[in-house]
Structure 1
Amino acid sequence: MLVAAFIIDRRSVRVPLVEARAVPDYSLLGASLDISIDPAAITDSEGKLLVVNHAYRERFEGLPTPLDLSSDPESRDSLVEARLAAWRDGASCAARIAGPSGALAVEIERVGAHGEQLLWRFPSGDEPDAIVVAARRIAGATGERLASAGVLAALVDDDGLLLAANKPFADRALTGAQRQDGPVRFADIVDIHEDETVQLRADKEGVPLRAVHVPLDPNREGGAGTLLMFETRDGPSLANSANVQVLLEMLPIGLALVDRDGRFLTMNKAFRTAAGLPAGSMPSYPGDLVAKEDKAAVADAVRRNARGPAMAGDLAVRLNHQPGEPVALTVAGLRGLGDAAVLLLLKDNSEEAKLKRQVAQATKMQAVGQLAGGVAHDFNNILTAIIGHCDLMLMRHTPGDSDYDDIQQIKSNSNRAAGLTRQLLAFSRQQTLRPQVLQLPDVVSEVSHLLKRLLGETVQLVVKHGRDIGPVRADPGQLEQVIVNLAVNARDAMASKGGGTLTIQTYAVRADQVADLGSDILPVADYSTLSISDTGTGIPAAVLGKVFEPFFTTKEVGKGTGLGLSTVYGIVKQSGGFIFADSKVGAGTQFTIYLPVHRVEEGAAVPAKPVSKAGDEELWGTGTVLLVEDEPMVRTVAERALTRHGYRVLTATNGEEALEQLDGGHAIDLLVSDVVMPLMDGPTMVREARKTHPELPILFMSGYAEEQLRKSIDIANVAFLPKPFSVQELAEAVRKALAQKADAN
């Protein structure tokens, strides 16, 4: 089996759209992708094709990139957002993409040894096109079975064009020229008599036919389509034919027939699935399927269509098994089908609704994260000014002065506020991480002593470790903060019950076990898992979906900032992991964190130990520093701080002023600049400056994370100083940047 799975089919060899690389082996990847019957492709981070499988080639003619599959602006925006989310979070999805052959669903996963590629999958079973499926079956084996019972069948779209027909209808209704000339208008091949019988024009000697109209998918973009079945006036009644059930079962949407008294006659498997009914069961009335508030509306619609003129209409109803998710129920009148007077259509849109909820939740969290990151950035500027002025004032005071303690208190509170902004940056995945390769049991052991003191005597701590747990790559300090935050929340949840048990478990989850879970969010891979569960009061289901949102808290006023779980969420996602919450009121809550197993490469460099901070006497220096900062309060603090440490400081409020200073003949030893500024931002200014001063050292100041900035800026030989910073930290960063320049020379 394994050998057969990796035989290389030369038709699926790498698409020649990118420059060849020695690694990875795209031929092997192409052969592996061909195992999937669904279209699949691997692209780079920007969506450029690297390799595709046969299903992708056959379904998307011309080999467009995944981002070019739709010409609809809204669908293209959804694809772009899904790509960005997958690159950031590891996985993403999008639904109802207007593709070249109907609506598409897409699943995107970040893959590769270094996470440098994106895997795009287009599952064909998520959203079948009822019209396309019905046309294929009517022209195929199902149409032949109907023909053997003497039933003529044809499929007509909303524009009156004949889409498909079984052989008896085509033989009797179409001439040779009409078969060759392309689509035929149904009105051009039939005559309708006053008694509503139908005469085929090409079959002048034939007897008139009775027609049964069956409307298909009403939710399909571009029209519903109608299936027409014909029987002769003197022939056996179609209503008594077993082929009615065959017809119902062949369609991918839920169909049911109701008699004039409003009772069910029959229904197909798709209808039972959509209605949440067990196999073989059938209620008496359609109203038995819906919530109490919708029973009257359904009964009235069935009664009107059963006894009045034949018509069709949609109702928004809530089913008993899914009362929170309204669905569309189509009620259509039938004539000429025996006891059947009403046709009900119900589409199972549970997967579509699930995808929509996932996309909406991911979009909301992304938007809130961007807002939180922006707020944190602005607060960091303010806190930089406050902390800097406190440092300058402390230089003029000594312990024991009347103002010294007050200044220290201001600085202490400012540092606490800086901690809150770091939590906001953690949620928005814009904080600076220092990842290391580590083992989860070691991290739990390090923090367990602190947890015992935090939890108190009323809470029992139980720690369990599994076997064969792979290493993960994460920031150990941030991972400890995740465990502490979850443990403190668990302690508070158990306080009202007088205590309880907090259980921390680490264990390995293999890729085949992930596949068995069937999660639409968790990509199939090997994970090291951390589970933290308590025996507290639990979280209500209505609240569980909001617990990771910032500033949302279930605690009393004044007892929580609402940033604890949002910080946990951000740290886990920024570390490439996934977190899930499961809770039952009265029984407790469990948080499960999946971190991908890190494959350590041979010969990988060991991270250097951090260098201890220099003393104040080592921070004095000489040289000219060009300081570029649009915030006056931050610019003033930085200027005074650098001047006090011996530097000559030139200032500019934006990038254009800075370039004028550089061209003014001044010998600049170091450029210190903010990143986000009006008119011309820091990176743009630096690129222009490097054209005339290629060796100029750069120190960027920013309230955003260093990792995020390095990815977006892509400028070599620059240093970063995160805001808020103290006077000493600024002096250290400047001294280090100048020292690196001296070493290079």
Structure 2
Amino acid sequence: MTEVATLMAEQDAQRTQPTDLLILAAALVASAVLVWLASGEPLVAAGYGAGVLAFAALGRILLRPRSVGGTAEFAQPDWSVTNAAIDRPDAAVAITDRAGRLVCANRLFEEWFGMSSAPPRLPLDDAAVERLDRAARAAWRDGEASADGLEGAGRRWTAHARRSGRGEDYLAWTIEPVESTDIVADAARAVAGKAGLALGQAGICAAVVSPDGAILSANPGFALAATGEAQATVVGTDFVSYLRSDEQDRIYFAREGRKGAPQRLIHLPVADPESRTDADPALTPSLMLLIESGTGAGEGRAGIPQIEALLARLPLGLAMCDRDGRFLFANEAFLRAAGHDGTVAPPYPSDLVIRDDKGALADAVRRIAQGAPTAGDVAVRLRSAPEDPVSLSVAGVRGLGEGAVLLSLKDSSEEARLKRQIAQATKMQAVGQLAGGVAHDFNNVLTAIIGYCDLMLLRHSPGDSDYDDIVQIKANSNRAASLTRQLLAFSRQQTLRPQVLQLPDLVSEVSQLLKRLIGEKIKLVVSHDRDLGPIRADPTQIENVIINLAVNARDAMQGKSGEASGTLRLATRRITPADVRALKSEILPAGNYTALVIEDTGSGIPPENLGKIFEPFFTTKELGKGTGLGLSTVYGIVKQSGGFIFADSEVGKGTRFTVYLPVYSGTEVAAPPVAAPAQAQQTWSGGGRVLLVEDEDTVRAVAERALVRQGYVVTTAGDGEAGLEAIVSGGTFDLVLSDVVMPTMDGPTMARAIRERLPSIPVLFMSGYAEEQLRREIDLPNMHFLPKPFSVAQIGEAVERVLKGQSL
């Protein structure tokens, strides 16, 4: 920064003051000598000199400048403040006085123009200096003025001058650079952006080409036509290499050759229209537009624009092809049904199908296009879904200009999804039936193993050498029994004890257990909606549902270090019929539900596994860390309780399970206990006669030995007919203990026949099937149920309670 004019004035004043005083003193002495010589009187000369000195002193006193009021502070201006005010990073600022001298300037002015010149005399061309000179005169006259088009040193500026100062005796200049616009870069960005996409939707292929023929930018339409892939990279390649011409100078894309439609090439030089210099067209980049011949602006691509507009709005997937089998038009529904991810149709319909179906489809389209206007269906497999064949309808049309073939494709994604759901439901039902049958047969085997273990333990004390082995066999048998219970839960054949309950109360009871199960590093967040309706379910089984889902969530949040951390959210929600309709689910019927939501922040479930998680024995855990029955058990419990369960997951973000349990709207009425005859209650004192009917020899033998050891008189039968014969032949019994499923005559049929003769005899069924299911199928009073597998103690206790008239 400088203070040029002020410093020069101060230095001139300091240099001139002593010289002026010497000149004045010499003049005074000379004039006094002349007076003395003229008058001859030295006193007269002395008086003359004294008078001149007196008048000079008086004049100095009268003419000395004075400070007035508040103006004294401007006597010594602080130029650093001015310099700070004009220091701009984007413009040069300078201040000049009336003499055109530079008073001060900022750093940018010094960089651009130096400090040896002041506006308007800047180191610019003559035209720019003339414009600045006119602006300076106008500013002194009108207060401010501007000058544009200033050029010099390869740059351009615009200047503005404004009169300023207390006496408006300064000009403040602001000189700003004019940034040049790169029209080629702007055009390249537009073609590669939304403008190019819009051109592609209109069927126009666009590319910006450098003077040497290299592609600077291209829209997806050009890339698709040139390479067959809308996302292909063509920047930097030779534009001409993608084109071919025939003997009639018609232009085609090289990839399609003469089979493709001829193109009309429009060449637009990309140059600055404000530039005053005429650039050589050969050295100017160009915007190349390729439009199919006969499909330019104002020409209907399919012959009739109204029909094309109508087809675009229909929800059906429709497209048109010309006589060469090339796409003229395809609406969004057609492209969506075909699985095409772009907004512009590919050149040919065969580009949408797999390689094996290309020839058949192309032949069908060309045959119908060039022959009689017929119609037909072609079975093809789309590239987007090669495993699922679809039917493509092809119909010939005439009188629509270039349109010769109408294609119709139905969006079958929803139908395919429903088919997959039905197939999944059918598979789950079949697996459930298989699991139930396996569990039932396996329970018979486990009943015999557990029974014989109990009988052996009665003969061995804890100190015997075989005692520990027998205990280990029984423990493993009980573990196998728990697996069969899970299979029965999945197949919805387990025994439930449903009660009317409030879900939040059940969640509160199990929350304390969950905190110990999931660990300290996992945060448990529990929330409840208001006005939740009651549900009717087995509380123990619903607790199993919550625990199973929480444990799975804990395992999903386990990191690489082996320690689980994250957040487990457990919530109950009130679901109304309006909420169900908003879900748009074909599975969940409209109604009132109380929903249980369990959400974690774990690793999530991959999409390919999400449809299999409820299948038995399916697990993604390491070998030995899971049986694959946890979620299948949850599924069975929920289904058997009349509810629905859905899983939503995103890999890396977590999983959410939602259980919908229907709100119970009835009145809970406890079923009256079925009492044994009063006489039996009064006279019972232990012991009794039992008719044991079981088709499995090992189970029958275990049950017989267990009851005989407890003092009962047991008569055995191998099937229902033999059991009924024991009654018909005159046998008297206090209890019938029977299996349910037996050959020739099953247990319920035998029990009904026995009740015709002995209406009051109690019946105790033992089976691996669910009690609730049996009670629906067997409508008999005074009927009891003992689930398999059972131990020796359990069968003895059950028989005793039934004979005493007590419920199990």
Instruction: Give yes or no for TM over 0.5.
Output: yes
1:568 to 628, 634, 645: 634
**Aligned residue number for residue 611 of structure 2:** 545
Q: Residue 689 of structure 1: CA displacement?
A: 1.8
**Aligned residue number for residue 587 of structure 2:** 521
1:582 partner amino acid: D
Matched, 1:441 2:504: yes
1:257 partner amino acid: M
Q: Residues 47-58 of structure 1 correspond to what in structure 2 (within 5 A)?
A: none
**Aligned residue number for residue 189 of structure 1:** none
Q: Residue 245 of structure 1: CA displacement?
A: 6.5
Q: Distance in 2 between matches of 1:272 and 1:391?
A: 70
Matched, 1:372 2:372: no
**Aligned residue number for residue 52 of structure 2:** none
**Aligned residue number for residue 714 of structure 1:** 779
Relative to structure 1, the CA distance from residue 461 to residue 381 in structure 2 (aligned partners, 3 Å threshold; closer, same or farther) is: same
Q: Residue 240 of structure 1: CA displacement?
A: 6.3
2:648 partner amino acid: D
2:556 to 454, 472, 493: 493
Matched, 1:507 2:573: yes
1:468 to 521, 531, 553: 531
Contact 2:523/2:567 (<8 A) preserved:
yes
2:631 partner amino acid: L
**Aligned residue number for residue 681 of structure 2:** none
**Aligned residue number for residue 621 of structure 1:** 686
**Aligned residue number for residue 520 of structure 2:** 457
**Aligned residue number for residue 705 of structure 1:** 770
Q: Residue 253 of structure 1: CA displacement?
A: 5.2
**Deviation readout 1:420-469 (Å, 9 max, x if unpaired):** 10000000000011112222222222222222222223322222222222
Q: Distance in 1 between matches of 2:557 and 2:313?
A: 54
1:688 to 734, 749, 753: 753
Deviates more, 1:328-337 or 1:554-563: 328-337
Matched, 1:420 2:494: no
Q: Residue 334 of structure 1: CA displacement?
A: 4.3
Q: Residues 565-644 of structure 1 correspond to what in structure 2 (within 5 A)?
A: 565-599=631-665, 601=667, 604-605=669-670, 621-644=686-709
Q: Distance in 1 between matches of 2:796 and 2:596?
A: 41
**Aligned residue number for residue 735 of structure 1:** 800
Contact 2:451/2:790 (<8 A) preserved:
yes
Contact 1:460/1:502 (<8 A) preserved:
yes
Q: Residue 391 of structure 1: CA displacement?
A: 1.5
Q: Residue 282 of structure 1: CA displacement?
A: 5.9
**Deviation readout 1:487-536 (Å, 9 max, x if unpaired):** 11122222135532222122212211111111101111111111112222
**Deviation readout 1:348-388 (Å, 9 max, x if unpaired):** 33343333222211111110000000010011101111111
Q: Residues 168-179 of structure 1 correspond to what in structure 2 (within 5 A)?
A: none
Deviates more, 1:426-435 or 1:504-513: 504-513
Q: Distance in 1 between matches of 2:419 and 2:772?
A: 31
1:657 partner amino acid: A
User: SS state of the match for residue 591, structure 1?
Assistant: strand
Deviates more, 1:449-458 or 1:270-279: 270-279
Q: Distance in 2 between matches of 1:465 and 1:443?
A: 12
Aligned pairs, how many? 495
1:651 partner amino acid: T
Contact 2:303/2:403 (<8 A) preserved:
no
Relative to structure 1, the CA distance from residue 480 to residue 620 in structure 2 (aligned partners, 3 Å threshold; closer, same or farther) is: farther
Matched, 1:665 2:730: yes
Contact 1:621/1:645 (<8 A) preserved:
no
**Deviation readout 1:186-212 (Å, 9 max, x if unpaired):** xxxxxxxxxxxxxxxxxxxxxxxxxxx
Q: Distance in 2 between matches of 1:566 and 1:408?
A: 30
Relative to structure 1, the CA distance from residue 495 to residue 316 in structure 2 (aligned partners, 3 Å threshold; closer, same or farther) is: farther
Contact 1:654/1:677 (<8 A) preserved:
yes
Deviates more, 1:504-513 or 1:329-338: 329-338
**Deviation readout 1:250-282 (Å, 9 max, x if unpaired):** 998544321123333455686466446899976
2:697 partner amino acid: P
Contact 1:269/1:279 (<8 A) preserved:
no
**Deviation readout 1:209-253 (Å, 9 max, x if unpaired):** xxxxxxxxxxxxxxxxxxxxxxxxxxxxxx967886699699985
Contact 2:304/2:400 (<8 A) preserved:
no
Root-mean-square deviation (CA), in Å? 3.3
Q: Residue 591 of structure 1: CA displacement?
A: 1.0
Deviates more, 1:687-696 or 1:509-518: 687-696
Q: Residue 550 of structure 1: CA displacement?
A: 0.2
Q: Distance in 2 between matches of 1:451 and 1:495?
A: 16
Contact 1:620/1:645 (<8 A) preserved:
no
Question: Identity of paired residues, percent?
Answer: 67
1:639 partner amino acid: E
Q: Distance in 1 between matches of 2:497 and 2:639?
A: 15
2:409 partner amino acid: L
Deviates more, 1:342-351 or 1:293-302: 293-302
Q: Distance in 2 between matches of 1:607 and 1:450?
A: 34
In the alignment, structure 1 segments of 5+ residues that lack a partner are 1-238, 609-618
Q: Distance in 2 between matches of 1:480 and 1:423?
A: 14
Q: Distance in 2 between matches of 1:475 and 1:686?
A: 29
Contact 1:467/1:508 (<8 A) preserved:
yes
User: SS state of the match for residue 323, structure 2?
Assistant: coil
In the alignment, structure 2 segments of 5+ residues that lack a partner are 1-301, 674-683
Q: Distance in 2 between matches of 1:240 and 1:457?
A: 72
Q: Distance in 2 between matches of 1:684 and 1:374?
A: 20
User: SS state of the match for residue 580, structure 1?
Assistant: strand
Relative to structure 1, the CA distance from residue 271 to residue 607 in structure 2 (aligned partners, 3 Å threshold; closer, same or farther) is: farther
Q: Distance in 1 between matches of 2:721 and 2:309?
A: 75
TM-score (norm 1): 0.61
**Aligned residue number for residue 381 of structure 1:** 444
Contact 2:588/2:644 (<8 A) preserved:
yes
User: SS state of the match for residue 330, structure 1?
Assistant: strand
Q: Residues 280-295 of structure 1 correspond to what in structure 2 (within 5 A)?
A: 285-287=348-350, 289-290=352-353
**Aligned residue number for residue 484 of structure 1:** 547
* Higher relative contact order, chain-length normalized (CA < 8 Å, sep 6+): 1
1:408 partner amino acid: V
User: SS state of the match for residue 598, structure 2?
Assistant: strand
Contact 2:740/2:767 (<8 A) preserved:
yes
Q: Distance in 1 between matches of 2:366 and 2:460?
A: 89
Q: Residue 332 of structure 1: CA displacement?
A: 3.8
User: SS state of the match for residue 656, structure 2?
Assistant: strand
1:687 partner amino acid: R
**Aligned residue number for residue 9 of structure 1:** none
Q: Distance in 2 between matches of 1:296 and 1:637?
A: 72
**Aligned residue number for residue 361 of structure 1:** 424
User: SS state of the match for residue 588, structure 2?
Assistant: coil
User: SS state of the match for residue 450, structure 1?
Assistant: helix
Q: Residue 290 of structure 1: CA displacement?
A: 4.9
Contact 2:304/2:401 (<8 A) preserved:
no
Matched, 1:330 2:393: yes
Q: Distance in 2 between matches of 1:717 and 1:293?
A: 69
User: SS state of the match for residue 391, structure 2?
Assistant: strand
2:512 partner amino acid: H
Contact 1:459/1:502 (<8 A) preserved:
yes
User: SS state of the match for residue 661, structure 2?
Assistant: strand
Q: Distance in 2 between matches of 1:575 and 1:708?
A: 12
Relative to structure 1, the CA distance from residue 315 to residue 538 in structure 2 (aligned partners, 3 Å threshold; closer, same or farther) is: farther
Matched, 1:262 2:325: yes
Relative to structure 1, the CA distance from residue 395 to residue 569 in structure 2 (aligned partners, 3 Å threshold; closer, same or farther) is: same
Relative to structure 1, the CA distance from residue 308 to residue 376 in structure 2 (aligned partners, 3 Å threshold; closer, same or farther) is: same
Contact 1:620/1:646 (<8 A) preserved:
no
Q: Residue 296 of structure 1: CA displacement?
A: 6.4
User: SS state of the match for residue 695, structure 2?
Assistant: coil
